[in-house]
Structure formats: C-alpha cells, structure tokens
Structure 1
C-alpha cells in the first residue's frame, strides 16, 4: 500500500529548468544536507517493487545497483506474489524534462531528452528518478539528486544521508 494520502498527484521531475522548491524541504544534519519529498513509493514492507519496461533499461538497472549497493534489498523487480509499487515507461515530449516520477506510482523517461544524453547522463537520470521514488528531494550540485542532469552516477554524502532519513520513515 502506498503512502499516498491525497488525491492530488505530486510529480517530481528532473529537468533542465528549475522546479518549485515547494515540492520538497531540506534539513541540515551532521554536515550533510538532507532533502525529502512529502511522499515515497516504498511499501509497508520497506520494498520498492518495479515493473513495466523502458528503452533505458540498462540505465535503470545501473541506477538500481547504485541505490542497492548502499542499502541492499529495497528495490526489486515486481513478481506475481508482490504488488507493483512503480511502473516504468517511456514517453516522447519536446520539453526540458528528462524524467518524471509521480506519487501515483509511475517513473517515465522522456525519449526526446534521453536520446541526446551520454551513458552517464542517462544513468544519472535513472538514479535520480529512483531517488524520488525512494522519497528523496532535490539537493546540491554535487549530488545525484541535483535538479539538473549531470554525469554524476555515485551517491554523495547528501544522497546517502537523505536516503537514511527517508528509510526511517518507511
């Protein structure tokens, strides 16, 4: 069961333009800056089961591995015996948005933007969008969770601190 308490669907998107800071809040903790959304897609068993398909599956898998190498066993494929928490898909829209994760349980990649990116940039987008599914908000320019597309593919101290804080809320 999702922790969605409102009928309004909140969307977190990685774009080339800035997003409204009202989608997330930041806290200063132990020299690391944490940033969480007001929602996440992790279920009551502390798992994020994904299904669907994307042309960027390799990038998505690399993003899963990035998060799983920090906290193992949280993100996993959906099976018949589990309820899918997030559905992957692609869409095409002439816009600055590279990916969108919604509180309704969707994670979408924009082919228009993704097809112009390097392998590291695609992995950054996938890892970033998974971060939103885990409940993380935007953070600083040295983080995977920075609001703009970068080539960063490893978790920073801020990314890890934000994930640690989010995990306590699941």
Structure 2
C-alpha cells in the first residue's frame, strides 16, 4: 500500500514547478472518482470536490447505488504531524487532532490536496495546492492543472 500525506510542519524551500505524478490513482476505468464514507469536515471536502470539478466537470462524484466507491472517507484522531492521508487502497483519512487546529481555508486546502493525490498528483512546489505542507491556497495553480492534465491522459 502506498500512502500520500500532508503534514503540519513549516515549509522549507520549494523546487521549481513541473508536472509530478505518483504511480497510482483512484480514478476508475470510466475516468471518474466515486467516493463514499463520511468525515467531520464534509463541507470542506465538498468544497475541494467543487474546485477539481470546476476544472474537469463531473470527474469526482459521490457514490450511487449503481457504482462502486473508488475512495472511502473517514476520520481518526492521533497526536502525530500528519493531517491527512490518502492511500493507493482507496482510503482518505483525516486526522481530527490536527484538522481542528486549522483555519477554514487550511482545511479546504487539505481536502483539495488529498483529492489531488487520489487523482494521481504528487507533491510539488509551495505555489501548488499539492505542496507537501498545509497552506491556505484553495485555488489550483497552473502547475496543479498541468499535472492533472498529464495524469488524466494516463487513465
């Protein structure tokens, strides 16, 4: 199982932006990501879905009775530097211990970020939503979009 996470440590210097993908994604053969489960941060998660779907309409959807879930949401609480984690097995887990300390835009950033991993994006620069640290960025950068375009062509 491969995990991608966002941590709560202060950022260091970032490298130059470029397309960076991980070796897996949770998108199905129909080029969709169907999610199920619940989180205490559902409004923020829905906001994150909206950000990605505004760029590529209808890719991320709530599971229906006719489709299988590709990702399952849940919460946990543990005193550790990890805020959230998305796994290649289709889990997206949010650490309430750290999430409750974040501002609204930081929580939204976490959701957009973790959905980026589910879509196949790897960590990138401080100007990207997919940066490896929590920020207040809640809009996709040009590089986030370029990385998503590259990942989407691979599905």
Note the alpha carbon deviations across 1:103-138, whole angstroms, 9 max, x for none.
Answer: 000001000110000000000000000000000000
Q: TM-score, normalised by structure 1?
A: 0.86
Which ranges in structure 2 are unaligned for 5 or more consecutive residues?
Answer: none
Matched residue count = 151
1:107 and 1:17 map into 2 onto residues whose CA distance is: 20
1:14-53 pair list within 5 angstroms? 14-17=6-9, 33-53=18-38
1:36 and 1:15 map into 2 onto residues whose CA distance is: 19
1:93 and 1:135 map into 2 onto residues whose CA distance is: 26
Q: Does 1:88 align with 2:73?
A: yes
- Which residue of the partner structure matches residue 154 of structure 1? 139
**1:102 paired residue among 76, 81, 87:** 87
Higher relative contact order (CA 8 A, sep 6+): 2
- Which residue of the partner structure matches residue 39 of structure 2? 54
- Which residue of the partner structure matches residue 11 of structure 1? 3
Q: After the TM superposition, list the runs of 4 or more consecutive aligned residues in structure 1 that deviate by more than 2 angstroms.
A: none
Q: TM-score, normalised by structure 2?
A: 0.94
CA displacement at 1:41 relative to structure 2 = 0.2
CA displacement at 1:156 relative to structure 2 = 0.1
- Which residue of the partner structure matches residue 67 of structure 1? 52
Which ranges in structure 1 are unaligned for 5 or more consecutive residues?
Answer: 1-8, 19-25
2:124 and 2:143 map into 1 onto residues whose CA distance is: 7
CA displacement at 1:73 relative to structure 2 = 1.1
